[in-house]
Structure formats: structure tokens, C-alpha cells
Amino acid sequence: MPFVKRQFHVEKPTKAFLYIMKKLNFTQGEAQRLIAKGRVLINGESIYNTGATIEGDIELVYFEPKSRGVKPIFVDKNFLVYDKPSGILVHPNTMATEYSMLDEVRTHSGQNANGVHRIDMETSGLFLASRNKNAEHFLKSSFEKKVINKTYLAWVKGELTEPFIVEEPIKVRKDYTHNKHKVEISKDGKYAKTEFIPLEYDKELDTTLVECRPLTGRLHQIRIHLFYLKYPILGDPIYGTCFEITNRYLDGTITPKERFINTGATRLMLHANSLNFVYNNRFIIYSNVDFIHSKSEICEKDKRV
């Protein structure tokens, strides 16, 4: 498990951050951030004073990455790019999360490396991570300023033939009593714009491969815009099926077969395909995954519920 709790004995009074730097090979900044998060415990109680002196028995809780062999597809001195497989979180949800892309990022580039944006767990494709704190600040700021352009590929239900644009405001929902959608189209929401370009139609599966270009960065933007137009992404367990199936998916009680026939695919058929941004130089990076061949994960039309 990436987050570990270990006991140590401090022989003589020592600044906590100095002890952590020596024991864990952390920088001063990393050690002080660990303390500020309450990850240093004495008698079971967290300390938060980054200048505190410690002595005797202590416990340290810290992230210890465990790689599963996912390698970056592009390495720069300031950042890494991965082709994230579907089903993997980009960052631990809790301290009990067994594995995420952060394990790979920090195994490769150390404790100062970090992911700089979010991708849904079931979405596959390009994931950008910084290798140092300056790069992290720059890249996160670039995402906030909308100067990093992304494209996605999606297999959607039905036939689409012409390019189109959706400009519908998106609002985060708070009541999930009758609907498990995390967001909805609402005049009270935030402005959102997505461009869609149909690329290929498979008549036998009744599905269209669509290139999606989100020009704003709202939660579940591509998924809700396609659902709103009644062309949901195949395999979507939140926006592409009924309340009961969604609820069982979220509870973890749905079987793979039930998921397959009720949502139309083994997974959310959405893939982050390209990144276009400037960091000293212009970078245009494409996924190495041939997403067209992912059609093998789609349920036959006449077998879908």
C-alpha cells in the first residue's frame, strides 16, 4: 500500500524536518509539508508545527510509491506523459488507495513529482505529470488558463455524420436521491463548450467514433454534453444507463456481464488522445493507443439492454 505508517525512535532532541530529511531522503520542503499535513505522530497525536523538535518514539505516515510497470511515453526534464490505462486513478482518493498513477510518477521522478490534472478513473489516455515544483505550478496554471489543448476520442451510441458544437452550461448536482449524475445541464451552471467531429461509424455495432475537443474544463463535460444530445458514450455507468444500474455500479455490486449489456461496453469508451501546450517549446503529443481497435470492448447492438 503506497501510504505506510512506520515507527521510529529519535535518540536525542532533533528538529522534526531534519530527522525526516535524513530518514526518508526528503528535501526540506517535502519534510515540512509532511509535518504540516499531520503525518508525524507522537503518542498517536499529530503535530503540525514545521519547526517542532522531537524525541523518543514517533510515527511517520508517508507515501511510498509502488510501481506496476507503467512507463511514461514521453520524458522531458520538467514533465512526464503517460498513456494511462482505463480503471486506474490518477491520484489516491484516500490513504487506503492501493495504487494510482502517482505511484508511477513518483517511482520515476521522486517525491517532488506530481500529476497536474485529473482524468476520470475509467477514461484512458494521456496523463501529464510534473517532475519538480516549478513545473507543477506552471502546468497547473496553464490548465487553469485554458492554454493546454486536449482532444479525446469516444465511441458513442448511434450514428453521427456532421461536426457540431455544444454550448450548454454545466452545474454540479448536490441531490442524488433520484439521479446519480454528478453534473447536469442547467441555466444556473457554468459556461461550457465542446466541439465534436464524427470520424467513423460502425453500422453493425451502431456506434460512432467521435473526436471531442473541450474548450472549457468542466467536470464530466464531454460525458454530459453527449448525454444531453442523446448520444451517450458507450460503457458510461453514470450517464449511459438507468438509476438501478448506476447505483449498483457505485456500490460495487454489479457483475461485469450486467455492466456490459446495460451500458454497452466493458468500460467507459473515452480516451484522452492528444495534448498541445507550450513549456519553453511547443509540444504536441499523441497517445500510442489505437483506440479504433477498442471496439472489441463494445457489446453487440442486439445484446444490449
Question: What are the extents of the domains in the chain?
Answer: 3-63, 74-144, 149-303
Note the pLDDT of residue 305: 87
Residue 234 C-alpha cell reads as 458507450
d(CA 102, CA 113): 8
The Cα-based distances of 47 to 37, 40, 78 in angstroms read: 9, 6, 33
The neighbour count for residue 221, using CB atoms within 10 Å, is 22
Q: Which of the residues 103, 120, 206, 236 is marked catalytic?
A: 120
Sequence-ordered list of residues with C-beta below 8 angstroms from that of 103, at least 6 positions apart, any chain: 2, 65, 66, 67, 68
d(CA 29, CA 112): 9
| Class of CATH domain 149-303 | alpha beta
Q: Which CATH superfamily is domain 3-63 in?
A: RNA-binding S4 domain (3.10.290.10)
Residue 188 C-alpha cell reads as 444556473
- Of the candidates 280, 231, 292, 303, the one whose C-alpha atom is nearest the C-alpha of residue 79 is 280
Note the pLDDT of residue 30: 87
CB 183 within 8 A of CB 170: yes
Q: Which CATH architecture has domain 74-144?
A: 2-Layer Sandwich (3.30)
d(CA 8, CA 28): 19
Residue 219 carries which DSSP code? T
Note the pLDDT of residue 95: 82
Q: Which residue has the cell 473526436?
A: 211
Note the pLDDT of residue 1: 58
Buried b (16+ CB within 10 A) or exposed e, 45-64: eebeebeeebeeebbbbbbe
Note the pLDDT of residue 289: 97
Residue 132 C-alpha cell reads as 519538480
pLDDT one digit per residue (tens) for the chain, 305 residues = 588 999 999 999 999 999 999 999 888 988 999 999 999 999 999 999 999 999 999 999 999 999 999 999 999 999 999 999 999 999 998 888 999 999 999 999 998 899 999 999 999 999 999 999 999 999 999 999 999 999 999 999 999 999 999 999 999 999 888 889 999 999 999 999 999 999 999 999 999 999 999 999 999 999 999 999 999 999 999 998 999 999 999 999 999 999 999 999 999 999 999 999 999 999 999 999 999 999 999 999 999 98
d(CA 149, CA 265): 28
Residue 224 C-alpha cell reads as 454530459
120 is catalytic: yes
**What stretch of H or E contains 106?**
helix 101-109
Q: What is the pTM of this model?
A: 0.89
Amino acid at 80: L
> Residue 184 in 3-state DSSP?
strand
**What stretch of H or E contains 165?**
strand 164-167
What region, left, alpha or beta, does residue 182 occupy, with left being phi > 0 and alpha being psi -120 to 50 degrees?
alpha
